[in-house]
Amino acid sequence: MIVNTRKRPPRRTKKEDRLLNAKANAQEIRIDFLLTEMTKLTDAMNQKWGIDRLIDLVSDETRQRYAQAVANLWTAFDEQDEDGVKEHSQVCLRGLQFLDQEAERLGNTELPDCFDVECDDFHAVVVTDNRIWPVIKQKRPDVRIYNTREVAYIIDQFEQRNGVLTEIKDHFKGAEILEIKTRKDIDHDDPIPF
């Protein structure tokens, strides 16, 4: 019986980064590092099959077995059980590899040249070649599709109105935009206004 209802395995969140995770203790950091391979393989499978799509391409029995493995990993994670996280993340790794093999064996095909993008509750597919959108739309009618030119245009228009992205990227090399606030959301006593 599955107790934990979370579908995705826990992800590595870079607990060792003292700027983002100042309160993380040594055990949380060690557990976070144990999730590195799981996070990499999950990302690879999401890129190959689409975000959370692989689980829908396998048999019910395989799906249930993997769901139980993920539930066990979450239980160990929530209990901060290092040995349990290590053991159950390895089970989930083998499970993901089995899901991938079964999806291929059942005749499913990977997505064409595209990227699944997920940010909070927003989910879209970005295609590098706009000619493939009908193939993706046929397989995944529920997802929004953008091409790389549209994404560049959206960023350009945002930048022309706001001007903050260029400043951030110029001053903080390798920075990743995780959240964008409107001016009314900004704490004006904060010395950095983004």
- Local confidence pLDDT in tens for the 194 residues of the chain: 444 455 678 887 888 877 677 788 888 888 888 999 999 999 888 878 877 888 989 999 999 999 999 999 999 999 999 999 999 999 999 999 999 999 999 998 776 678 888 877 888 889 887 767 777 888 888 889 999 899 999 888 888 887 777 888 888 888 887 777 666 666 666 666 55
Residues 123 and 85 in one domain: no
Q: CB within 8 A of 65, min separation 6: which ones?
A: 95
Examine residue 144 and state whether it is found in any structural domain, yes or no: yes
pTM of the complete model: 0.60
- CA–CA gap between residue 128 and residue 193 (Å, rounded): 34
pLDDT at 184: 66
Asked if 2 and 71 count as a contact pair (C-beta separation under 8 A), the reply is yes
| CA geometry: angle 132, 137, 179, nearest 5 deg | 95
47 and 91 share a domain? Answer: yes
3-state helix, strand, coil in the chain (%, to 5): 55, 10, 35
In angstroms, rounded to a whole number, what is the distance separating the alpha carbons of residues 110 and 123? 18
Are 93 and 121 in the same domain?
no
Over the Cα atoms of the chain, what is R_g? 20
Question: Would you state the pLDDT for residue 115?
Answer: 83
Are 48 and 100 in contact by the 8 Å Cβ rule? The answer is yes
Which residues, in sequence order, are bridge partners of residue 117? 124
Per DSSP, 190 falls in state: S
Both tokens of 183, joined, read 């001016």
Residue with tokens 């999950």: 42
Query: What amino acid occupies position 149?
Result: R
Q: Are residues 82 and 142 in the same domain?
A: no
118 with 95, same domain?
no
Domain contains 10: no
Place of tokens 């995780």: 178
Parent domain of 177 = 114-185
Residues 98 and 36 in one domain: yes
Find the helix or strand (DSSP H, E) in which 146 lies. Answer: strand 144-147
Number of compact structural domains in the chain: 2
Sheet with 144-147, strands from edge to edge, namely: 114-119, 122-127, 144-147
